[in-house]
Amino acid sequence: MLAIAPGAGRGEASERLLPSASLAAPTAIEPASLIGRSADELVRNLGRPKQEMPIASGMTWRYQIAECSASFLLLPELATGLLKVFSYEIAPRASDEAAACLGRIASDGRARGT
């Protein structure tokens, strides 16, 4: 599923969408808020992906944990030429669980220190 949230904003490069406390409980992350984020920002928020695959003129980043998985398609943004999040696909598909899934992925990423 290609899901892009209307009105999703782009924060500064250093903006974190998650609480900084590494021991905090997983906080849900709205997937649409990641649209337009750069690769670096995605790493800062979700950690390094488990899998990187080139696709078209960009990359697909795949995150996977026991409970769910998420894929992000990063394509070059015309204004900057930098790879940025173009779309995402999250399993399970329910939108209310998607945010929780991303929260858990982020938590896992922090735990792994990536």
Partner 1 sequence: MAARVAPDDGALSRPLSSPGTAQAARRGGPLRLTILLLIFIAVPVILYGWFRTADADKRAIVLGTAQQQATLIATSLRPLLDRDDSSAVERIDAAVRGLAVEGRTLRVIRARPATGHDAEFLVASQPTATAAEFAAIRGKLREAERAGLDRQNCTGRSAIEARVGGASGDAEILAAAALVATPGSCWTILIGWSSAPFLASSLGRPYWRTREVGVAGAIYLAFIAIVLASLRGRTRKQNWAIPVYPTIPAPILGRVALPAAQALEHLPPPIELDLGAPFAELLDLRKHVADLVFQYHEDVTARGLSFSYEAIQPAAIRGTRSLVDGAVINLLDTVLAASRPGDVVRVVVRTEDGMPRLIVEDGGHAGAFDAEAAPDRGDIRHATWVAHRNVEAMGGRLDIKKQANGVSRFVASFPRPG
Question: At residue 86, what are phi and psi to the nearest 5 degrees?
Answer: -100, -40
DSSP code, position 25: P
62 binds partner 1 (CB under 8 A): no
Cβ-in-10-Å burial (0-12, 13-18, 19+) of 18 comes to buried
Looking at residues 5 to 44 of the shown chain, list those that interact with partner 1 (rule: CB under 8 A): 5-8, 10, 35-36
Quick one: which of 17, 71, 90, 102 contacts partner 1 (CB under 8 A)?
71
Contact 34, 106 (CB under 8 A): no
CB of 58 to partner 1, least distance (A): 8
Q: Is 91 in the site for partner 1 (CB under 8 A)?
A: no
User: Buried b / exposed e across 46-63, counting CB within 10 Å, b at 16+?
Assistant: bbebeeeeeeeebbbbeb
Count of residues that interact with partner 1, criterion CB under 8 A:
26
Among 23-31, 51-59, 92-100, 104-112, the segment contacting partner 1 (CB under 8 A): 51-59
State the residues that interact with partner 1 by CB under 8 A.
1-2, 4-8, 10, 35-36, 55-57, 71, 73, 75-81, 84, 86-87, 89
